[in-house]
């Protein structure tokens, strides 16, 4: 099952033709590609890949909005859109389906799928557009509305504009760094990039970012590569 999760807030209007979603919050209105189209495209690619490998199993897809506060306006024709609390009910519907492939074939298929998964190579935007990394705006920003985050306590931050409380704003900053500057980041670099004074706090969030770490000293680096958990 393909799950396309969107952390979008505010009010969402699903448009049928062209298939777009108009997001309206208290501060902005934005048009997005429809996440249902995105999930359908990924599903179709996976179905084609499975067929090439002589496997015919149904691949389901759903679009999930994690926040119950998101207002979803859609026509009744769109039936793959859910809030996170519906997910257990959705999965329960499929748990008693008959098994269609043998367990060993299932595992070998997963292995082949992983081996064909080519990591996407990023060309950092600073080098692409000749921007000096030192000219970038420093700080911690809201990934929903780009507003400057404020500190609530030593380990929690919130957005005073849309009230989002990111679970790991430093991991979001690391992702930005990988897109903007380069494939690795040190504690010192992230401290400067996020305008933070405490190495210990930065280290705590880097450790739980999910990104791969190399080295054990103070000079260790985190890489643009997720650790499978």
Residues in contact with Zn ion by the rule CB under 5 A: 142, 144-145, 147, 159, 161-162, 164
Chain centroid to CA 97: how far?
29
Nearer to Zn ion, 159 or 185 (CB): 159
Task: Name the residue nearer to Zn ion (CB basis): 141 or 211.
Answer: 141
Nearer to Zn ion, 164 or 184 (CB): 164
Least Å distance, CB 142 to Zn ion, is 3
- Closer Cβ to Zn ion, 46 or 162, answer by number: 162
Which residues, including other chains, have CB under 8 Å from residue 117's CB and lie 6 or more apart? none
Minimum distance, C-beta of residue 11 to Zn ion, in the bound complex (Å): 15
Picking from 178, 167, 177, 165, the residue whose alpha carbon sits closest to that of residue 139 is 177
Residue 114, CA distances (Å) to 16, 61, 99, 110, 118 in order: 35, 20, 22, 6, 8
Least separation in angstroms between residue 29's CB and Zn ion is 15
Kindly tell me which of 141 and 178 has the beta carbon lying closer to Zn ion: 141
Q: How far is the CB of 186 from Zn ion (least distance, A)?
A: 27
Question: Rounded to an integer, what distance in angstroms lies between the CA atom of residue 83 and that of residue 63?
Answer: 8
CB of 92 to Zn ion, least distance (A): 34
98-101 long-range contacts (CB < 8 A, ≥24 apart) are 100/57, 101/55, 101/57
E strand spans, the chain: 2-5, 11-15, 20-24, 29-33, 61-65, 71-73, 81-83, 150-153, 156-158, 184-186, 211-214, 221-226
Minimum Å gap between C-beta 165 and Zn ion is: 10
For residue 191, what is the enclosing H or E element? Answer: helix 187-193
CB of 168 to Zn ion, least distance (A): 15
Residue 132 · residue 125 · CB < 8 Å: no
Contact 59, 46 (CB under 8 A): yes
Task: Name the residue nearer to Zn ion (CB basis): 39 or 149.
Answer: 149
Contacting residues for 110 by C-beta, under 8 A, at least 6 apart: none
- Cβ closer to Zn ion: 143 or 220? 143
């Amino acid at each position: 099952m393909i799950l396309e999760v969107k952390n979008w807030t505010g009010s969402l209007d699903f448009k049928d033709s062209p298939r777009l979603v108009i997001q309206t919050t208290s501060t902005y209105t934005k048009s997005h590609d429809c996440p249902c189209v995105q999930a359908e495209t990924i599903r179709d690619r996976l179905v084609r890949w499975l067929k090439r490998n002589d496997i015919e199993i149904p691949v389901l897809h759903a679009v999930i909005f994690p926040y119950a506060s998101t207002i979803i306006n859609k026509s009744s024709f769109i039936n793959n859109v859910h809030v996170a609390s519906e997910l257990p009910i959705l999965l329960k519907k499929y748990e008693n389906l008959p098994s269609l492939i043998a367990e060993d074939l299932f595992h070998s298929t997963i292995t082949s799928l992983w081996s064909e998964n080519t990591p996407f190579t990023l060309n950092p935007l600073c080098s692409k557009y000749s921007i000096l990394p030192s000219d970038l705006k420093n700080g911690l920003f809201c990934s929903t509305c780009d507003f400057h985050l404020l500190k609530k306590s030593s380990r929690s931050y919130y957005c005073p504009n849309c009230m989002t409380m990111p679970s790991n704003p430093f991991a979001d900053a690391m992702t930005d760094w990988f897109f903007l500057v380069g494939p690795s980041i040190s504690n010192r670099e992230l401290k400067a990039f996020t305008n933070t004074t405490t190495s210990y706090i930065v280290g705590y969030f880097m450790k739980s970012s999910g990104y791969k770490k190399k080295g054990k000293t103070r000079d260790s680096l985190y890489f643009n590569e997720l650790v499978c958990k």
